[in-house]
A and B are shown apart, each in its own frame.
Chain A
């Protein structure tokens, strides 16, 4: 995890800020304090969740793979919805965001290729876990594009809070 705090843009030129693009890998999160665009791709059952404080201009995007870290020995918190969101929120606060002002948007959690014969799909469980964890932190979800049977790619403009979602078959949407 890296925090992009404006070092790359010492002049503070607003035009430069919006050009900065940061890629978020699977089971990773990134935080920006200078309104950069955070992107992640290949979301199937995975979820891309953006949490941001517009007033403080601090935002982050996480690409979670599985719902809960319980019963797993993996040390990578960002892989799971519950521990990953907690880590993201901690980092946002460290960068000057206020939890009271934070809002969230999410995309992904598709039910494509769900071979589970019983129980809910991983995509749905990821969505449920994100909702639960964000509720615990008292952070409202203000936009979502979830479920269905297709993959998604996401561009989150931390400056405006816009989340642009693309898929292989459908037109791009912004939430």
Chain B
């Protein structure tokens, strides 16, 4: 089964359009000002879907849909968001039951528009179930999805920002993988730029390996047991690439890597994580909470070692040399860090693959994000060079799958 870049682009804009329409319906009904921040398609471990919702309370409106495309979709509101919507609809307050039915009704109208958009494009009918209202914590707000055997799944996610309120809501679409694959195959325009999905899956495993290697280096250097958490590969328009990072300030290192593929690798720590992990690296405790030049140089050293771990991990699997430039230390707005790299990649392509992973530890407040931005054509070439021994292989074994 292959997926071509063009249809990934088409499906991404379809999901984006759908989210735009759903948001317009919400704005019209409530008078609030909201805009779709970003839409992306991500291939990730089924178990990791919704990981970014961790630790927060949500209100969700879920639907199932059936037809040429089947699966589940859910509108996810941050808790405060749902209250504000109810307030906009029923000023002065509403009882619990009325509040729930308001949110459910809004959800119904929004998601009908979203699903109809897909049906129009696919020139087919897609039926959806009545909405279900739920209140859950973290990823539990998402439907579990149909168990169709796939370990890694494509997920469509739109993030919608409530302008001026610092509140967000999300639209997740979790298509049944068989049905998505059929639709993608039927609507593929060209075979020239097709990427086999099983190889993309292997690429995710490679990222996990790379992150694990980087995490081991962190543990060795700091004595803090650190674990690789989530690895995923996303596809988004080039102008949305820098929105993969939130609007906080980050500290970290950036390198350009060169080989098949070439591209950029960023290892980023939010300021608190950077401070905490740098303290672990430094021989003596510093006075005060300020992030000093000493902290920055500790981060540089750490970033350097993590980069080597990550890139060596890739190179080992690809059986090729991947060189990288000396790391540049950055301490800036996260999105501004990503911006020039996205622009550089954007000189040759409209969309980009973004390889992301995170590592964490429970010992201290620490999280690190790794983002790689490979050249699309070279990524495709790297995937072409991978040899999948048996097409029916369900458990990807990196040793066996990659040609040596």
Contacts and interface: CB of A to CB of B under 8 A. Distances in A.
B35 A23 contact: yes
B254 A113 contact: yes
Nearest to A79: B239
B333 A122 contact: no
Contact of A42 (B247, B325, B344, B346): B247
B333 A46 contact: no
B331 A169 contact: yes
Nearest to A78: B239
A174 interface: no
B242 A42 contact: yes
B335 interface: yes
Interface in A127-175: 150-153, 167-169
A112 B240 contact: no
B332 A168 contact: yes
A35 to B, nearest CB: 17
Given A44-B339, A122-B340, A65 B346 contact: yes
Contact of B339 (A21, A22, A25, A45): A45
A106 B158 CA distance: 31
Interface string A61-74: 00001100000111
Given A26-B240, A41-B247, A65 B343 contact: yes
Contact of B163 (A21, A151, A169): A21
Interface of A, helix, strand, loop or mixed by DSSP: loop
Most buried by B among A21, A122, A150: A122
A168 B331 contact: yes
Nearest to B240: A26
A32 interface: no
Contacts of B350: 72-74
A71 B299 CA distance: 40
Contacts of B243: 26
Interface string A17-28: 000011101110
B259 to A, nearest CB: 15
Contacts of B164: 21
B149 to A, nearest CB: 38
Contacts of A114: 340
Contact of B333 (A27, A66, A168): A168
A122 B239 contact: no
Interface of B: 35, 37, 161, 163-164, 238-240, 242-243, 247, 249, 254, 256, 264, 325, 328, 330-344, 346-347, 350
Given A21-B164, A23-B161, A79-B239, 13 more contacts: A23-B35, A25-B239, A27-B239, A42-B242, A42-B334, A44-B340, A66-B343, A112-B337, A113-B330, A122-B347, A150-B336, A152-B336, A169-B331
Interface of A: 21-23, 25-27, 41-46, 65-66, 72-74, 76, 79, 110, 112-116, 121-123, 150-153, 167-169
- Nearest first, the 4 closest Cβ-Cβ pairs linking A and B are A151-B336, A42-B335, A44-B339, A45-B340
